[in-house]
Amino acid sequence: MRRSGGTVYPRKDRPGLWIHEVMVGGKSTKTAYQSKEAADAAKAALLRGDSMEAQRHTLGEWLTHWVAAIAPGRVSARTARYYASIVRNQWLKSAPASLPLRA
C-alpha cells in the first residue's frame, strides 16, 4: 500500500505559518507549523509511519506538543502564548501530566 505524506504549503492569510495537509479517513486534516522545516518533519514522520497516537505518551508530553505544533495554527498568537503559559505553569506541574494517554 502506498502511503501519501500529504502536502506542505505556506498559509496565505497568516505569513510565516506552514500547513501540512493530509487525507485521514477520507477527510482532509490540516495542521499549522511555525516553519517549513517543522511541517516537512511532520510529513516525513507520517511517511515513516510515526504518529503521536501510535506511541505511548503522557498527558504532559501531548500538551507540550499541542501548544508548540497545533495551537499556533488554530488560534491567535496571543492566545497561543496564553495557552502555553497555562500548560507550562499549571498542567505540567500537576499529577495528571504524568498519566499515560490511552486510545
pLDDT at 102 (0 to 100): 72
What's the pLDDT at 78? 94
The grid cell for 6 is: 500529504
Helices of type H across 1-103: 36-48, 59-65, 71-74, 77-86
Instruction: Walk along the chain (103 residues) and give the pLDDT tens digit of each residue.
Output: 344 667 888 888 878 888 878 776 677 777 777 788 877 877 777 766 665 554 567 888 888 888 888 888 888 989 999 999 999 999 999 999 888 877 5
- Distance from CA of residue 24 to its chain's centroid? 15
Q: What pLDDT score does 2 carry?
A: 42
Strands 7-10 and 27-33: unpaired
Q: Is residue 8 within 8 Å of residue 18, measured between CB atoms?
A: yes
